[in-house]
Amino acid sequence: MYVARTIVESERFLAPARKAHKETGLVPTMGALHNGHMSLVDCCRGENEITVASIFVNPTQFNDPADLEKYPRNPERDLEILSSAGCDMAFIPGMRSVYPAPDNRTFDFGKLGRIMEGKYRPGHFNGVAQVVSRLFSIIRPQRAYFGMKDLQQLAVVRRMTSMLNLPVEIRACDTVREGNGLAMSSRNELLTPAQRENAGLIYKTLVDASNKSGMEPGELKRWVTRRINSNPFLEVEYFEIVNESDLQPVEKRGDAEGRLVGCIAVRAGSVRLIDNVFFPNFEPL
């Protein structure tokens, strides 16, 4: 696997590939890799001749400095994992390569940017859009791969790509989970064993909620929140039932437009966990 730490090094590998009309897929990550990331790499390898994974902990998307400070980092191990997964190039840029000058752009994602993660992590999606658009212009992939675990991020990246007319196809991959159902996340490394075990309740509750017929969204929201909050290790920050199409909250079953998704953020101590589950049985009464 080729490792590039600067744009010049990246071009050394990618320019000849582009000349040979090889299609490239990009998997943007912040490192501390796990099987969720690896599923994106697998998906990318299946659809592209060249797979590039980037590792960059992007400061502009952290609204909480303590979260940035304690974010897990393990670049040596990450490189080994990527190499054995068959990744062709790892891009591990420094701050100067990604931001040679401060990025002052502000993106307006409208209502999409003001709910859920947008509401609880102000500025987060602006930072995501900044870094992803920069990675797209550095790597110039035909396709880029994102996880459904971060469903709102996926929608924001799609919006940013079309706002900027970027010729990149955004591909979504399923959420990979730990044995107890907890969505894999680099932040899971920061949980104590007891927190990690108890955090399995998040997914279990979402699945049980998705199978409940006959409850209105408000009632279901209270049920999910009560059940998770009754666990001493967990505290719900938000739980919303939203339309898959625009991620806007639905207050009445009758207002659903197509499939609904239950989206949640939970705090386990100082660690913030997010997850979502589609509600296939949630039909109008």
Question: Which residue from 196, 136, 147 is spatially nearest to 172, judged by alpha carbons?
Answer: 147
Q: Does the footprint of ligand AMP cover residue 188 (CB under 6 A)?
A: no
Burial class of 99 by CB neighbour count within 10 A (0 to 12, 13 to 18, 19+):
middle
Does the annotation mark 37 as catalytic? yes
User: Minimum Å distance from CB 16 to ligand AMP?
Assistant: 27
Using DSSP, state whether 11 is helix, strand or coil.
helix
Does position 25 interact with ligand AMP (CB under 6 A)? The reply is no
- CA nearest to 116, candidates 282, 274, 285, 279: 274
Stretch that binds ligand AMP, among 177-185, 192-200, 215-223, 231-239 (CB under 6 A): 177-185
59: which 2 tokens?
């400061």
* Contacts with 258 (C-beta within 8 Å, 6 or more apart), sequence order: 243, 244, 245
Give 110's strand partners: none
Residues 238-277 contacting ligand AMP, CB under 6 A: none
Judged by CB under 6 A, does residue 29 bind ligand AMP?
A: yes
Is residue 30 involved in binding ligand AMP (CB under 6 A)? Answer: yes
* Residue whose CB is less far from ligand AMP, 33 or 256: 33
* Active-site residue, from 21, 34, 37, 124: 37
> Does 141 help bind ligand AMP (rule: CB under 6 A)?
no
Q: CA 88 to CA 230: how far, in whole Å?
A: 46
The nearer residue to ligand AMP, 138 or 183, going by C-beta atoms, is: 183
- Are 147 and 34 a contacting pair, CB within 8 Å? no
Q: Closer to ligand AMP by CB, 173 or 209: give it.
A: 173
User: Within its chain, how far is the Cα of 206 from the centroid?
Assistant: 18
* Min dist. Cβ of residue 49 to ligand AMP (A): 21
> Do residues 145 and 139 lie in contact, with contact meaning Cβ atoms separated by under 8 Å?
no
Residue 206 or 220 with smaller CB distance to ligand AMP: 206
What is the contact surface with ligand AMP in residues (CB under 6 A)? 29-30, 36-37, 39-40, 146-147, 149-150, 173, 175-176, 183-186
